[in-house]
Amino acid sequence: MEIPANLKYTEEHEWLRLEEDNIAYVGITDFAQGELGEIVYVEVNTVGEALSANDIFGTVEAVKTTSDLYLPVGGKILEYNTRLENEPELVNASPYGDGWIIKMEVRNPVDVQNLLDADAYEAIAG
């Protein structure tokens, strides 16, 4: 199981990578995609919306189940990874790369520091 040290994590198995200008990418972890199995559909209808931390921003549908996606920190959803419309399996193949789900503007970058680091996440996902 891959848990990159440069990312932040949630107990709900989302990851966040903070970039410049308070822009962040969000997706699900390698552990989460493994538990879900083959991803067949990703839905995000919140582009353009400002949401709070832990709000549902979309869903991931696998062959055997559908799971809600929770926003790690508050902010505005800027973009959905449209490649996932035709290639939802990217979430399985590259959860931390091409399989990112949304790009967002983080409302308060200090909130990112309250997320789990790789070691803390590994203790949960272990």
Kindly report the CA angle at 91 between 90 and 95, in degrees rounded to 5? 110
Look at residue 107 in the predicted model and tell me its pLDDT: 97
Q: What distance lies between CA 79 and its chain's CA centroid?
A: 13
Summarize the confidence of residues 46-72 as an average pLDDT. Answer: 96
- Compute the mean pLDDT over every residue in the chain, rounded to the nearest whole number: 96
Whether pLDDT at 98 is above 90: yes
Q: How confident is the model at residue 126 (pLDDT cuts 50, 70, 90)?
A: confident
Q: 73 near 107, Cβ under 8 Å?
A: yes
d(CA 25, CA 103): 5
d(CA 63, CA 48): 29
Q: What is the 3-state secondary structure (H, E, C) of 46-103?
A: CCCCEECCCCEEEEEEECCCEEEEECCCCEEEEEECCHHHHCCCHHHHCCCCCCCCEE
Look at residue 1 in the predicted model and tell me its pLDDT: 86
Look at residue 101 in the predicted model and tell me its pLDDT: 98
Look at residue 46 in the predicted model and tell me its pLDDT: 97
pLDDT digits (tens, 9 = 90+) for 21-32: 999 999 999 999
Look at residue 80 in the predicted model and tell me its pLDDT: 98
pLDDT more than 70, % of the chain:
100
Summarize the confidence of residues 9-26 as an average pLDDT. Answer: 97
What is the CB neighbour count within 10 angstroms for residue 102?
A: 25
d(CA 112, CA 122): 18
Look at residue 85 in the predicted model and tell me its pLDDT: 96
